[in-house]
Amino acid sequence: MGEGPSKPGKLYSPLLVAVATLLGAPVAGCILVGHNLRALGKRSAAWQWLLWGVVGTAALLIVAYFLPDRFPNSALPIGYTLGMYYGVKHAHGAEFDTHIATGGARASAWAAVGVGLTCLVAILGVLFLAILALPEGQP
């Protein structure tokens, strides 16, 4: 029995990528984009997105540390979440739409929330360890 090309698995929508990004920083959204790209057979691009997610999250943490106290707390998360949403929609929205139009399945919103919260816990853990590693009296 010959099989035709296999359909990609479940894909995360740009909206779910944005939700994960809001909860767990750019790394969480990039993990979901990486999942989508692997499902579409683009392994190299998936690794690039993951790398940029880690680098982007680290850069955001550094920027957030140096922001003035009067800077609005919600501005940074809103900015990077909207940036991720529109970036993913522009870069991969057509592939997602084609996938859904041809009968492909959507990935679970609960899984996206889980990835976002897991990344949040991991980031908080790293920050906690970094604070413990600082000598006493350092901010």
| Spans of all domains in the chain | 14-133
Q: What's the confidence (pLDDT) of residue 96?
A: 94
The 10s digit of each residue's pLDDT in 3-17 is 434 567 899 999 999
Asked whether the beta carbons of 76 and 64 are under 8 A apart, the reply is yes
pLDDT band at residue 134, thresholds of 50, 70 and 90?
A: confident
- Would you state the structure tokens that stand for residue 59, as one six-digit string? 């850069």
β strands within 8-66, DSSP E? none
pTM, to two decimals: 0.89
pLDDT per residue over 66-107, tens digit each?
Answer: 999 999 989 999 999 999 999 999 999 999 999 999 999 999
